[in-house]
Amino acid sequence: MRVNFKSSLTEVLKSEGGYSDHPKDPGGATNKGITLRTYNYFTHKDKTKADLRNITDYEVQNIYLTGYWVKCHCDFLPSGVDYCLFDAAVNSGPTRATRWLQQAVDVKIDGIFGSKTMRSINGYTPGEIIEVFCDIRLRFLRGLKTWDDFGNGWGKRVERVKIFSLNIV
């Protein structure tokens, strides 16, 4: 639901934090959850790490709205499921997050959000989807080679996402 975008963005930004360029992060330089590669893609320019450090709130909101919220069809999802999918898309990419959603609602897993996925979502309660989705997401994250470096934070993040999502259902 579009009405949830601003509060969802606020929650995502609590997890994403500020500028980081951790040597073990495969995403590289990141600010407010936006990688330099993503920033360049959305601005169609060769931005630098210094530019990324100075990304504006308007740019952040626009990238998150168009590149994640809209791309994942969050406006059409039940409250709670929208945020759950949005946060996962920001953290792991829209296609992977859509696959997790499809797995949670037992539909063909192809990473493409279409009418079959939407119909299948309607066959579950938001709470059911959120619980299963977060379990799938956490299982995936635990299998990453960077789990030892980032797993504690990821685990806490998925738990916060589950709690927040269930509270807005």
| pLDDT tens string 47-57 | 999 999 999 99
pTM of the model: 0.94
Instruction: Spell out the domains of the chain, with CATH numbers in brackets.
Output: 2-167 (1.20.141.10)
| pLDDT tens string 72-103 | 999 999 999 999 999 999 999 999 999 999 99
CA–CA dist 13, 90 (Å, integer): 10
According to the model, what pLDDT value does residue 1 have?
54
| pLDDT tens string 116-154 | 999 999 999 999 999 999 999 999 999 999 999 999 999
H/E segment holding residue 162: helix 147-167
- β-pairing, 30-31 with 34-35? antiparallel
Give the model's confidence band at 23: pLDDT under 50 very low, under 70 low, under 90 confident, else very high: confident
Give the model's confidence band at 27: pLDDT under 50 very low, under 70 low, under 90 confident, else very high: confident
> What separation, in Å, do the N-terminal and C-terminal C-alpha atoms of the chain show?
11
| Average pLDDT rounded to a whole number, residues 101-115 | 97
| Average pLDDT rounded to a whole number, residues 8-30 | 91
H/E segment holding residue 91: helix 81-92
Which 3 state secondary structure label does DSSP give 20? Answer: strand
DSSP state of 78: P
CA distances from 6 to 1, 60, 65 (A): 10, 12, 9
